[in-house]
C-alpha cells in the first residue's frame, strides 16, 4: 500500500474547512502505511494490481448495491477475471457492491443499517463527515450518495482498506477515502467535522466513555454524532460486560442498555440525544455467503434458543442514536 493512493483525497481535503489538518493526517497515514506490515499485504497488493481496467458507464451510490455498470456487458472471460480477482480480497464483510456485473454479496446487508438511519440524521448535503471504524467504506459511499462534501473513513484493518481501494479503482472518487488509521492515530487536536459516525465500534472499546469523549472532540460545536452499537434491555445503570467471548467475538467489552447509553452521552457533553432505531440482528442481515465463507451469526447463536448467543448471553440487539455536540 502506497501513500500515493490517497493523494487525490488529501488534495480534496485541502480545499475544505479541514485544510489545516491535511498535513497531520497525511503524516499519520504515511506512518501507518510504512509500518503497517501484514502477512497477507503482498498478496492483497497483487490482487489490486491484477484488477482489470474497465471504465464505468454508470455509477450508483444511492441504492442498496453500490457500484458501477459498463456500457456493454463484459465478455465472459473478463467478467470471470474480475470476479476471481475481487475474490482474492475475501472475506468481504460490508456491502453489497455490484462492480461491472459482479455482485459482491457480503456477509452483512449493510444497506439495512443505512435504511434505518438515513432519514433520521441531519441531511448530509455539503457536510464534512468522519466515519470511525468504517470497514471497507460501504456506508461512506452511501454518504457520498447523500451528497456529503467529503467523507473521511478510518479503519485499522488493512484488508478493508484494500477492499476500498479495489472499489475505488472503478468508482474513481476523491471525496471519500478509507485511511488505514485507528481512532487513536488521528491528530490529537483534530476537530471540525459536521457529522461523525461511530457504528459497530463502541462495544470493542475497553473505555467506552473515552470513546464518546473522543468523538465529541472531533465534531464542531453543534455537529451530529451518529452512534450505532450493541445494546441490552435494562435501565440506565445496566451494562453487560461479557465474561469471555460474545457471539464468538473475543474483543467485546461493554454492551449498555439504551438508557445507559443516553446517560453516558449526556455525561460526555452531548445534547438532543434521540434513539432512532433498536433492532435485533437477524441471520438474514448477517450471514455466510460466497464472498464471506467463514462462520457467521447463525453459528454463534444458541441452536435451541435464538434469543441467546452460544455463550448464553442475550442475542445481538443494536441501537442507533443521534446526538449533538454541546457548544
- 144 counts as binding ligand SAM under rule CB under 6 A: no
Decide whether 54 or 168 has the Cβ nearer to ligand SAM.
168
In angstroms, give the least distance from the CB of 211 to ligand SAM: 8
Considering only 141, 160, 170, 246, the residue that binds ligand SAM (CB under 6 A) is 160
In angstroms, give the least distance from the CB of 180 to ligand SAM: 10
In angstroms, give the least distance from the CB of 114 to ligand SAM: 9
Decide whether 169 or 204 has the Cβ nearer to ligand SAM.
204
Instruction: Find the helix packing angle between 110-117 and 138-145, rounded to 10°.
Output: 40
Considering only 67, 133, 137, 316, the residue that binds ligand SAM (CB under 6 A) is 133
Segment interacting with ligand SAM (CB under 6 A) among 75-83, 95-103, 132-140, 260-268: 132-140
In angstroms, give the least distance from the CB of 304 to ligand SAM: 27
The position carrying cell 457548544 is 327
Cα dist. 236→7, 260, 322 in Å?
A: 45, 4, 17
Decide whether 200 or 208 has the Cβ nearer to ligand SAM.
200
CB 108 within 8 A of CB 172: no
Binding mask 29-58 for ligand SAM (x = CB under 6 A): ------------------------------
- 153 counts as binding ligand SAM under rule CB under 6 A: no
In angstroms, give the least distance from the CB of 38 to ligand SAM: 12
CB 55 within 8 A of CB 69: no
Decide whether 201 or 258 has the Cβ nearer to ligand SAM.
201
In angstroms, give the least distance from the CB of 270 to ligand SAM: 19
- 279 counts as binding ligand SAM under rule CB under 6 A: no
Residues for the chain: how many in total?
A: 327
Restricting to residues 176-235, name those near ligand SAM by CB under 6 A.
Answer: 182-184, 199-201, 204, 228
- 110 counts as binding ligand SAM under rule CB under 6 A: yes
Considering only 12, 94, 127, 325, the residue that binds ligand SAM (CB under 6 A) is 94
HEC per residue, the chain: CCHHHHHHHHHHHCCCCCHHHHHHHHHHHHHHHHHCCCCCHHHHHHHHHHCCCCCCCEEECCCCCEEEECCCCCCHHHHHHHHHHHHCCCCCCCCCEEECCEEECCCECHHHHHHHHCCCCCCCCCCEEEEECCCCCHHHHHHHHCCCCEEEEECCCHHHHHHHHHHHHHHCCCCEEEECCCHHHCCCCCCCEEEEEEECCHHHCCCHHHHHHHHHHHEEEEEEEEEEEECECCCCCCEECCCCCECCECCCCCEEEHHHHHHHHHHCCEEEEEEEEEEECCCCCECCECCECCCCHHHHEECCEEEEECCCCECCEEEEEEEEECC
In angstroms, give the least distance from the CB of 53 to ligand SAM: 28
In angstroms, give the least distance from the CB of 155 to ligand SAM: 5
Decide whether 67 or 200 has the Cβ nearer to ligand SAM.
200
- 132 counts as binding ligand SAM under rule CB under 6 A: yes
Which residue ranges make up the site for ligand SAM (CB under 6 A)?
94, 110, 132-135, 154-157, 160, 182-184, 199-201, 204, 228
Amino acid at each position: 500500500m502506497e501513500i500515493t493512493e490517497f493523494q487525490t483525497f488529501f488534495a480534496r481535503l485541502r480545499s475544505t474547512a479541514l485544510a489545516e489538518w491535511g498535513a497531520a493526517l497525511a503524516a499519520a497515514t504515511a506512518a501507518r502505511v510504512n509500518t503497517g506490515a501484514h502477512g497477507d499485504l503482498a498478496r492483497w497488493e497483487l490482487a489490486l494490481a491484477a484488477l482489470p481496467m474497465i471504465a464505468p458507464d454508470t455509477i450508483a451510490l444511492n441504492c442498496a448495491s453500490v457500484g458501477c455498470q459498463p456500457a456493454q456487458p463484459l465478455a465472459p472471460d473478463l467478467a470471470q477475471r474480475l470476479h476471481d480477482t475481487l475474490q482474492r480480497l475475501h472475506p468481504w464483510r460490508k456491502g453489497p457492491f455490484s462492480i461491472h456485473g459482479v455482485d459482491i454479496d457480503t456477509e452483512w446487508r449493510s444497506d439495512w443499517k443505512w435504511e434505518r438511519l438515513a432519514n433520521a440524521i441531519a441531511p448530509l448535503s455539503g457536510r464534512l463527515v468522519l466515519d470511525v471504524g468504517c470497514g471497507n467504506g460501504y456506508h461512506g459511499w452511501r454518504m457520498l450518495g447523500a451528497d456529503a462534501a467529503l467523507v473521511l473513513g478510518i479503519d485499522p484493518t488493512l484488508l478493508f482498506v484494500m477492499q476500498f481501494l479495489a472499489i475505488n479503482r472503478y468508482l474513481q472518487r476523491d471525496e471519500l477515502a478509507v485511511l488505514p488509521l485507528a481512532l487513536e492515530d488521528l491528530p490529537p487536536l483534530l476537530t471540525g467535522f459536521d457529522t461523525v459516525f461511530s457504528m459497530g465500534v463502541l462495544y470493542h472499546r475497553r473505555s467506552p466513555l473515552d470513546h464518546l469523549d473522543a468523538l465529541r472532540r472531533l465534531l464542531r460545536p453543534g455537529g451530529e454524532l451518529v452512534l450505532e452499537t450493541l445494546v441490552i434491555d435494562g435501565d440506565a445503570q445496566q451494562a453487560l460486560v461479557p465474561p469471555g467471548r460474545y457471539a464468538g467475538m473475543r474483543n467485546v467489552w461493554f454492551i449498555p442498555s439504551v438508557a445507559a447509553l443516553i446517560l453516558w452521552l449526556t455525561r460526555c457533553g452531548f445534547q438532543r440525544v434521540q434513539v432512532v432505531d433498536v433492532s435485533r440482528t437477524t441471520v438474514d442481515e448477517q450471514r455466510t455467503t460466497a464472498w464471506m465463507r467463514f462462520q457467521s451469526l447463525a453459528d454463534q447463536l444458541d441452536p435451541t434458543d435464538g434469543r441467546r448467543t452460544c455463550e448464553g448471553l442475550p442475542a445481538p440487539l443494536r441501537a442507533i442514536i443521534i446526538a449533538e455536540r454541546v457548544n
